[in-house]
Amino acid sequence: MSEKPTLDQWSAAASKEVKGKDLTWNTPEGIAVKPLYTEEDLEGWDAGLPGFAPFTRGVKASMYAGRPWTIRQYAGFSTAEASNAFYHRNLKAGQKGLSVAFDLATHRGYDSDHPRVTGDVGKAGVAIDTIDDMKILFDGIPLDQMSVSMTMNGAVIPILAFFIVAGEEQGVDRKLLDGTIQNDILKEFMVRNTYIYPPEPSMRIISDIFGYTSREMPKFNSISISGYHMQEAGATQVQELAFTIADGAEYVKYGVASGLDIDKFAGRLSFFFAIGMNFFMEVAKLRAARVLWHRVMTKLGAKDERSKMLRTHCQTSGVSLTEKDPYNNVMRTTIEAMAAMLGGTQSLHTNALDEAIALPTDFSARIARNTQLVIQEETGMCNVVDPLGGSYYVESLTKQLVDAAWEIIEKVEAEGGMAKAVAAGWPKAMIEEASAAKAARVDRVEEVVVGVNKYAKDKEDPIDILDVDNVAVREAQIARINKVKAGRDEAACQVALDALREGAKGKGNLLELAVECARKRATLGEISLAMEDVFGRHGTFPTPVKGIYGGAYGEDAKWQGLVDGVSSIERRMGRKPKMLVAKMGQDGHDRGANLVSSAFGDLGFDVVAGPLFQTPKEAADLAIKADVDVVGASSLAAGHKTLIPELIGHLKDAGRTDIKVIAGGVIPAQDYQVLRDAGVQAIFGPGTNLVNAATEVLQLLGHNQPPEGIDEAAE
């Protein structure tokens, strides 16, 4: 019998095969991934058994051999009627739970007739203005039998109130309502920005929801603590993990401070993580999250093991989807779905192949949903509990993620908790630095995206997309608002709104008071405004990071050529070229805008990072006041056909047709000509190489010589 080979022998053999090349991979999280793992890497680590503390291997002893995860489809578009029909089709096709996407006007607490939301109504989710909308949304869907997840944070009080009253008017007692409301405002202040009120009253809202649901809705999860939007904003998996767990700890502390027993509400908390393309890292992240939550809840004084059990929904990554060669997105979503399953998620949404461009069609949504059905029904993956448990690599990664995230969590706690950290801004800055660094890696092809920066097609084939008629939806919503207001007892409605306003000043439970407003047919905007009258409306200004994107290029000839081009324009104009990066409408996702601001700032542009949520008129006024040369309009939520032409119209009316307007973001190729006809001079879709984009902008400004080495084919 031959002797067992040693690690030294393996190392020598591997080194010979690759001619001495170092096979260690340094991840964006700062983790050095070796080419081989053995039992020696697990010294001092015990993952335990599924269903037992600290739940590393899963929260159920039998998962998924006993029951598979819940298949959800995050969906909602245009009207309640259209969304309801879509839900019924999906449920018939195998979906097990509803996950509702609301439009941005709803998220930000505005009724559809508000002048600030003309381009947003029905575009990125369903418009909900009244209790009638909510009742139509769930028409024919028994709320005592269906688990409903609602992604809502800013306008969480009126939306949850509408849901409760819709159940009542269906004949369903609120004690039977099952599902989850996201209700995670710290994440909004950090990355997603669909907040309404300042941090302190926002945290009070969360405590009031905890209190009401723990008393009245025992089956309902009162918060879904979300790391998803952190990763979508550019966070590494360590950052997503650490800040999500720290957010959860902060919410628990607020709940306890408001007088709640930790074990009375903590068992109804749930989590929401993104699942990206770093397969094994994502598997390990979910395992590490369960370990960390058990540790945190034990430190906070929880006694019930259910309070220490991290249950999570997952969604495949949106940012990993590409506009170019979009059928590759089917494979990406499949890989990410498998990572979520092998990590032990309780429910899962799989993104559709066209979601880098628009809302999913029925065709693409069916493929996304069937991805989960195939995994559950055809692969045998569900027959073994935690099939990757015991993998040297996965267990080692889990341990390293626990340790790395715990360092950040301890820093948060040392500085007074997550609310103070968010107010100080350093978590957001960390995420934006990671985002800029990733963008540079992709643009430099240090990180491959198949079909985008490598193996790209010569010509893209058009695909069918879902297009929502924003004008028609808004008109229908306004008609329904007017009908509801005309048919209600106006005096009784105003009494209920006044009571909510007084409750915001004092100690009344805001959700309880809002439920009464919903019963009296107050609109979402009226309920939100009653609280805004007391709390005010929160606003922030972007502060793009500096030196990260440009620093990745060093002395690169392409980059240096652009820097020289900017300097040439500066000499000609007598000042630096100036760009306003404008975020119009109610979309708060600002990753793309911040990346553009960072990259162009590093090149030497004078960048004006406009405030979020501007109207086209406000953006035009700022462009004129700042005397910019270019306005870069960032669009993510399909309002581009309304908002950008209106911006150009205001510039024209002011006699400033010299200010060039370019557009970037989630803009389908089918819409390019509409924007060009309106006067847009350059359009940059998802995945655009920022170096190539800067080249085109410099040419618009009169610098006609492309920097040496720019690969035009990469555009």
Residue 597's CATH number: 3.40.50.280
- Spatial distance between the Cα atoms of 287 and 285, rounded to a whole number of angstroms: 5
Assess whether 554 and 525 both reside in one domain: no
pLDDT for the residue numbered 75: 60
Count of Cβ atoms closer than 10 Å to residue 411 Cβ: 14
pLDDT in tens, 583-621: 998 888 888 889 999 999 999 999 999 999 999 999 999
Render pLDDT for 536-584 as a digit per residue (tens, 0 to 9).
999 877 888 999 999 999 889 999 999 999 999 999 999 999 999 999 9
Check pLDDT > 50 for residue 712. no
* Residues designated as active site: 74, 228-229, 583, 587, 589
In a domain, 33, yes or no: no
DSSP state of 571: H
* 253-274 tens-digit pLDDT: 988 988 889 998 898 889 999 9
Within 10 Å of residue 25's Cβ, how many Cβ atoms?
10
Neighbours of 575 (CB within 10 A): 12
Q: Report the number of distinct structural domains present in the chain.
A: 3
- Angstrom distances, CA of residue 473 to CA of 132, 588, 651: 15, 21, 28
Domain with 112 in it? 47-444
Q: Is the predicted pLDDT of residue 252 greater than 50, yes or no? A: yes
8-state DSSP, 627: T
**Residue 297 in domain:** yes
> Does the residue 157 lie in any domain?
yes
Which pLDDT band holds residue 710 (cuts at 50, 70, 90)? very low
More confident site: 78 or 610 = 610
Report residue 464's pLDDT band, with 50, 70 and 90 as the boundaries.
confident
Q: Residue 711 pLDDT more than 50?
A: no
- Asked whether residue 420 falls in the same domain as residue 493, the answer is no
633 by Cβ neighbours in 10 Å (0-12 / 13-18 / 19+) ranks as buried
- Identify the CATH number of the domain in which residue 340 sits: 3.20.20.240
Q: Do 502 and 621 reside in the same domain of the chain? A: no
Q: How high is the pLDDT of residue 714?
A: 35
CB atoms within 10 A of CB 381: 14
Question: Which backbone phi and psi does 180 adopt, to 5 degrees?
Answer: -145, 140
Please, are residues 373 and 94 in contact by the beta-carbon 8 Å criterion?
Answer: yes
Say if 566 falls within a structural domain: yes
In sequence order, the 6+-apart residues with CB closer than 8 A to the CB of 294 are: 53, 54, 55, 308, 309, 310
Q: Are both 325 and 201 inside the same structural domain?
A: yes
Q: How far apart are CA 588 and CA 597, in angstroms?
A: 15
Do 137 and 234 lie in one domain? The reply is: yes
Distances (CA, A) of 117 to 110, 154, 471, 473, 613: 7, 15, 11, 12, 9
Residue 4 lies in a domain: no
For residue 503, pLDDT over 80 is answered with yes
Same domain, 117 and 237: yes
pLDDT (average), residues 208-223? 91
CA distance 519 to 513: 10
Pair 379, 426 in one domain = yes
Mean local confidence (pLDDT), 296-316: 95
Instruction: Specify whether 526 is located in the same domain as 562.
Output: no
State whether 350 and 259 are in the same domain. yes
Residue 351 lies in a domain: yes
Radius of gyration of the chain from its Cα atoms, rounded to whole angstroms: 26
Question: Same domain for 190 and 258?
Answer: yes
Percentage of the residues of the chain whose pLDDT score is greater than 70: 96
**Do 636 and 516 reside in the same domain of the chain?**
no
Rounded Cα gap, residues 402 and 412, in angstroms = 15
pTM: 0.90
- Report which of 155, 132, 102, 116 is spatially closest to residue 530, judged by C-alpha positions: 155
Of 656, 584, 664, nearest to 627 (Cα)?
656
Q: Report the alpha-carbon distance of residue 235 to residue 242 in Å, rounded.
A: 10
pLDDT at 669: 83
On average, the pLDDT of the chain sits at 91
On whether residue 342 sits in a domain, the answer given is yes
Backbone angles phi, psi at 271, to 5 degrees: -125, 165
Q: pLDDT tens digits for 683-692? A: 998 888 999 9
556 and 672 co-located in one domain: yes
pLDDT in tens, 82-106: 889 888 887 887 766 788 889 999 9
CA-wise closest residue to 714 among 587, 562, 564, 558: 558
pLDDT of residue 577: 96
Coil/strand/helix, residue 637: coil
Pick from 234, 247, 190, 197: nearest CA to 542: 190
Q: Hey, what are 61's tokens? A: 């002893």
Residue 60 counted as domain residue = yes
Beta bridge partners of 99: 74, 149
